[in-house]
């Protein structure tokens, strides 16, 4: 089985995200960038399937600026075998990403594609679903457990109020939720080894995909600043403030 894993370069989850002063987007200049945390989970799952003898090859794919090579190298250090970068400076919206991933899948012919359930920068939660639709493949989104049973892949999904298990026929698209696994720490020797693993660079035009954005971002703004709390000296004052100031009781 061959697995394709989509890895996105995003603002590191420890960084406090700031809106650009002109409201056109999020500030990314001089900001630490890392692999989208849900994509780390996706890579980890692929590597575990390979370690369990279920997968032969793992290809990590990233789409975006040249620096996405670093994100791919991280996936290679975690255990992916080779990388594909579709390089562009253009803004990529989920539909364009899904079309590019479909084009890569048409070339690579994987049995399974694992993505994160959402990217923590755009919070779109769209790409996996669009990709499955474009490919006409089965999809298991918000996956918290994968289990191969006979010729099916059982996917346990985190849904409102519980867990749902669906049986998928391969080829299929999976999107990884938080509880699927805990990604491993990358060890230095593996970082060194990853530098020697193959990484192909393509352009969207090589894949015949038009990545023109379909949506216009009107404005990006930060949430209103929270006011500092106060300490009250008695329950009576608290009840009074909740009643007369906050008007919640
Ligand atoms: P989204 O639909 O934008 O929330 O992203 C969902 C998932 O799609 C991410 O967790 C990634 O696995 C994948 N993805 C989105 N954008 C990219 C990108 N530019 N490069 C690689 N993977 C991506």
Flag whether 148 is in a domain: yes
Flag whether 232 is in a domain: no
Q: Does the pLDDT of residue 225 top 90, yes or no?
A: no
CATH, residue 117: 3.40.50.620
Flag whether 242 is in a domain: no
User: What is the share, in percent, of the chain residues with pLDDT greater than 90?
Assistant: 89
pLDDT digits (tens, 9 = 90+) for 153-175: 999 999 998 999 999 999 999 99
- For ligand 1, which residues put their CB under 6 angstroms from it? 6-8, 36, 38-39, 42, 62-64, 92, 94, 97, 115-116, 118-119, 122, 124-128
Flag whether 88 is in a domain: yes
Mean pLDDT of the chain: 96
Flag whether 248 is in a domain: no
Judge residue 219's burial from the number of C-beta atoms within 10 Å of its C-beta, 0-12 exposed, 13-18 middle, 19 or more buried. exposed
pLDDT digits (tens, 9 = 90+) for 230-242: 899 999 999 999 9
User: What is the share, in percent, of the chain residues with pLDDT greater than 70?
Assistant: 100
Distance 116 CA to ligand 1 centre (A): 7
The residue range of the domain holding 144 is 2-224
Flag whether 231 is in a domain: no
Q: Does the pLDDT of residue 150 top 90, yes or no?
A: no
Residue nearest to atom 17 of ligand 1 (CA): 8
Ligand 1 atom showing the smallest separation from residue 42 Cα: 12
Flag whether 152 is in a domain: yes
- Count of structural domains within the chain: 1
Flag whether 234 is in a domain: no
């Amino acid at each position: 089985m061959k697995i394709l894993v989509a890895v996105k370069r995003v603002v590191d989850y420890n960084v406090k995200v700031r809106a650009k002063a002109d409201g056109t987007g999020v500030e990314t200049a001089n900001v630490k960038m890392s692999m989208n945390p849900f994509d780390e989970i996706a890579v980890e799952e692929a590597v575990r399937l390979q370690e369990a003898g279920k997968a032969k090859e793992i290809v990590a794919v990233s789409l975006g600026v040249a620096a996405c090579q670093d994100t791919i190298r991280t996936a290679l250090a975690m255990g992916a075998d080779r990388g594909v970068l579709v390089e562009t400076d253009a803004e990529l919206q989920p539909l364009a990403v899904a079309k590019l991933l479909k084009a890569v899948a048409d070339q690579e012919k994987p049995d399974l594609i694992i993505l994160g359930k959402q990217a923590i920068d755009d919070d779109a939660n769209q790409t996996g679903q669009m990709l499955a639709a474009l490919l006409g493949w089965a999809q298991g989104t918000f996956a918290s457990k994968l289990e191969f049973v006979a010729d099916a892949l059982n996917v346990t999904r985190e849904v409102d109020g519980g867990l749902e298990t669906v049986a998928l026929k391969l080829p299929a698209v999976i999107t990884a939720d938080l509880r699927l696994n805990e990604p491993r720490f990358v060890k230095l020797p593996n970082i060194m080894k990853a530098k020697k693993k193959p990484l192909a660079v393509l352009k969207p035009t090589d894949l015949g995909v038009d990545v023109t954005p379909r949506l216009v971002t009107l404005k990006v703004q930060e949430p209103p600043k929270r006011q500092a709390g106060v300490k009250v000296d008695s329950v009576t004052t608290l009840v009074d403030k909740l009643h007369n100031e906050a008007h919640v009781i």
